[in-house]
Chains A and B, each alone.
Chain A
Amino acid sequence: MSQIFSGGVFSSDLSDGRAGVEIELLSSHVCASTAEGDAFVIPYEQCSVEQGGYSGKMLFCRNPDRSITIFSEDPSFLAALDEASRGLLSEQLAAERAKSKRQSRRGSLFVTGIVVGAAILIVLLYYGVRVGADRVTKALPVSLDKQIGKMAYQAMPKEGTEVHDPQLVDPIRGIVSRLAEHAKVEGLDFDLHVVDSPTVNAFCLPGGTMVVYTGLISASESPEQLAAVIAHEMSHATLRHGVSRISQSMGLSAAVSLIIGDSAGLLAAGEEFFRNASINSYSRQQESDADGEGVMMLHKAGIDPSGMPGLFEVLKEEHGEVPEALIWISTHPDHETRIAETKMMIQSLPDKNYDTIDLDWSEIQSRVTNSVEMKSE
């Protein structure tokens, strides 16, 4: 018994040129009948077969003068036609099957290509923009750093009141200006603020605005140790770590706008970045770089750089557990590594006679205590 398939027919005999039909595969021919009772017949030996249509799975049978085309999308139509025609159409049908397979293989290859290509493009674009933004930020004038630093300093919450005692502030300012002469970048203003707070910390914003907490002054055993921390923090500014961090933290669109020459996004991101107490969130690499540059600055300024590992030793011994107040040390690489690294850097330096910083350190430290006491009174 022959099977019936639903499909369609094209013929100029039809008023619309096309009609929906029921297709029957008879012993010698394929027969399509419309609902109106019109019948269209193509003998198998005259049939030329082609696969196509929107889905690519529609099978078309045409007569030699192409005046009748019978087609069906039924998935079993091809196999049934092959069987009913008893091998007459086998060659054509096999060729169509192979063509369809080739097409679907090409299609999946194309899709895979697009997906892989898009993924590679996204990754390249992402890193390209990141690296590009970093390069561009480094090429920007330092006046931008200053602007960011000033805006951030005004916006950020202060941990205590600023100390104005000249006998405490002036000696530290002296250390800062001695180091500033050897800054890697010209045009930075190292503007020092001593803030009354037990926090053992200091930081330097982009452009040179610096804060030293009295807690750090008390913790340092010698002016050289304090100078080491100051040199480290100043190095973050001279190496322009702040703007690098901001450009990396910016969204991709802001980075693109920076590359095409619009730095407004960078300024806004900078203020936001530093206001949210991210002063110490430099990368490990940046911290190591700042240690290295700090040692160099100390060396060039004629200050004994061994104050740096010295301070790490003090902090390690006195505050082995790293309490909350020791932000400076806790957010930095672990002190064992840093002691070893800085010691190695110092050894590789050429011999030099360092001048001791001529200050009455215990007097200065007592000033800190006084200022704290004065406040508590």
Chain B
Amino acid sequence: MQYDLIARPSMTVAKMMLQAGETVTCEVGAMVAMSSGFQVETTSRSKGGAGGFRKGIKRMFSGESYFLNHFTATAPEQMLMVGPSMLGDIMHHSLSGGSLVVQGSSWLASSTGIEIDTTWQGLGKAFFSGESMFWVKCSGTGDLLINSFGAIHEIDVRGEHVVDTGHIVAFEDTLQFDIGKAGSSWIGSFLGGEGLVCKFKGQGKLYVQSHNPPSFGKLLGPKLRPR
């Protein structure tokens, strides 16, 4: 996948150049603009993959759409521009075996070798992680485009790392993820405004976003006039 990320980091869109026969799977509604030489197919399963109905339903639980859009170039040098609905950055991650666990609604596009599935966080984590109940699990070999709210920062974890709830974008499956308190005491953690945090352990890449949608919503919501 040949791609270019433009207008980073706040209004990023991905401009991809596809060769004849090359396919990219995108989130529903992500397409901004494209050349005329594309065949667009909408299904509930990965290109050439299985799953269909069940995987579509699972995807809905993770905050993604039931359907997936597959863009196949029918002529050489076709341009496809995709962008997320929220303001923010896009990053590229290449997978060669293993999986990347992505927070719901952050998956934007991927090449055909990537399987998009959903994975349950576990009850405790689902309640307190500040994310959707389910994660999107991308596995296989190929390229992935992930979007965030605000800028994306990549952290190479070796040992332990702490991220505030709501700031996780994605992490490699080699990282163990737990919910814990921010400070040494429960009272201090909550008075400090951090409350619960996500703790990562192990080795692997972790992507965090500079802003988090729930906090933004809480700040903005009360100021909006009721319709």
Q: Is the CB of A17 within 8 A of B202?
A: no
Docked pose: A111 CA to B126 CA in angstroms = 11
Chain B residues in 8 Å Cβ range of A18:
96, 98, 172, 174, 204-205
How far, in Å, is A306 (CB) from chain B's closest CB? 62
Chain A residues in 8 Å Cβ range of B94:
16
A51-91 vs B, CB cutoff 8 Å, 1 = contact: the mask equals 01111101010000000010101000000000000000000
User: 26 A-B pairs, CB-CB below 8 angstroms?
Assistant: A8-B97, A8-B98, A8-B174, A16-B94, A16-B96, A18-B98, A20-B96, A52-B174, A52-B176, A53-B174, A53-B176, A54-B119, A54-B173, A54-B174, A54-B176, A54-B177, A55-B173, A56-B176, A58-B173, A60-B174, A60-B203, A110-B124, A111-B122, A111-B123, A114-B123, A114-B127
Chain B residues in 8 Å Cβ range of A21:
97
Chain B residues in 8 Å Cβ range of A8:
97-98, 174
Q: Is the CB of B122 within 8 A of A107?
A: yes
Q: Is the CB of B175 within 8 A of A53?
A: yes
Chain B residue at minimum C-beta to C-beta distance from A55: B173
Docked pose: A217 CA to B123 CA in angstroms = 66
Residues of A within 8 A of B (CB): 6-8, 10, 16-21, 35, 52-56, 58, 60, 69, 71, 73, 107, 110-111, 114
Chain B residue at minimum C-beta to C-beta distance from A113: B124
Interface residues on B, range: 20 to 34
Chain B residues in 8 Å Cβ range of A58:
173-174
Q: Given known contacts A17-B156, A19-B96, what 14 new A-B pairs fall within 8 Å (CB)?
A: A8-B98, A16-B94, A20-B96, A20-B141, A52-B175, A52-B176, A53-B174, A58-B174, A71-B174, A107-B122, A107-B124, A110-B123, A114-B124, A114-B127
How far, in Å, is A21 (CB) from chain B's closest CB? 7
Say yes or no: is B201 at the interface (Cβ < 8 Å to chain A): yes
B96-137 vs A, CB cutoff 8 Å, 1 = contact: the mask equals 111101000000000000000001001110010000000000
Chain A residues in 8 Å Cβ range of B202:
52-53, 60
The listed residue (A17, A20, A35, A52) touching B98 by CB distance below 8 A is A20
Chain A residues in 8 Å Cβ range of B123:
110-111, 114
Chain A residues in 8 Å Cβ range of B173:
53-55, 58, 73
Chain B residues in 8 Å Cβ range of A114:
123-124, 127
Chain B residue at minimum C-beta to C-beta distance from A118: B127
Docked pose: A16 CA to B96 CA in angstroms = 10
Chain A residue at minimum C-beta to C-beta distance from B140: A20
Q: Is the CB of B98 within 8 A of A69?
A: no
B28-46 vs A, CB cutoff 8 Å, 1 = contact: the mask equals 0000000000000000000
Chain A residue at minimum C-beta to C-beta distance from B174: A53
Docked pose: A107 CA to B97 CA in angstroms = 29
Residues of B within 8 A of A (CB): 94, 96-99, 101, 119, 122-124, 127, 141, 156, 171-177, 201-205
Docked pose: A58 CA to B101 CA in angstroms = 15
In the complex with contacts A8-B174, A54-B175, A20-B97 CB distance below 8 A: yes
Chain A residues in 8 Å Cβ range of B177:
54
Docked pose: A107 CA to B201 CA in angstroms = 17
Docked pose: A107 CA to B204 CA in angstroms = 24
Q: Is the CB of A69 within 8 A of B124?
A: no
Among B98, B122, B124, B201, find the residue whose CB has the most chain A CB atoms closer than 10 A: B98
Chain A residues in 8 Å Cβ range of B204:
10, 18
Docked pose: A152 CA to B119 CA in angstroms = 55
Docked pose: A290 CA to B101 CA in angstroms = 65
How far, in Å, is B27 (CB) from chain A's closest CB? 22
Docked pose: A79 CA to B171 CA in angstroms = 28
How far, in Å, is B54 (CB) from chain A's closest CB? 20
Docked pose: A31 CA to B138 CA in angstroms = 26
Q: Top 10 closest A-B pairs, CB basis?
A: A20-B97, A52-B176, A54-B173, A20-B96, A111-B123, A52-B202, A8-B98, A110-B124, A53-B174, A10-B203
Chain A residues in 8 Å Cβ range of B156:
17
Docked pose: A17 CA to B101 CA in angstroms = 18
Q: Is the CB of A6 within 8 A of B174?
A: no
Chain B residues in 8 Å Cβ range of A110:
123-124
Chain A residues in 8 Å Cβ range of B119:
54
In the complex with contacts A16-B94, A53-B176, A110-B124, A69-B203 CB distance below 8 A: yes
How far, in Å, is A98 (CB) from chain B's closest CB? 17
Chain B residue at minimum C-beta to C-beta distance from A8: B98
Docked pose: A62 CA to B48 CA in angstroms = 37
Docked pose: A20 CA to B114 CA in angstroms = 14
Docked pose: A35 CA to B96 CA in angstroms = 10
Among B99, B201, B203, find the residue whose CB has the most chain A CB atoms closer than 10 A: B203
Docked pose: A60 CA to B123 CA in angstroms = 26
Docked pose: A21 CA to B174 CA in angstroms = 14
Chain B residue at minimum C-beta to C-beta distance from A14: B96
Docked pose: A36 CA to B105 CA in angstroms = 34
Chain B residue at minimum C-beta to C-beta distance from A50: B202
Chain B residues in 8 Å Cβ range of A54:
99, 101, 119, 171, 173-177
Chain A residue at minimum C-beta to C-beta distance from B172: A18
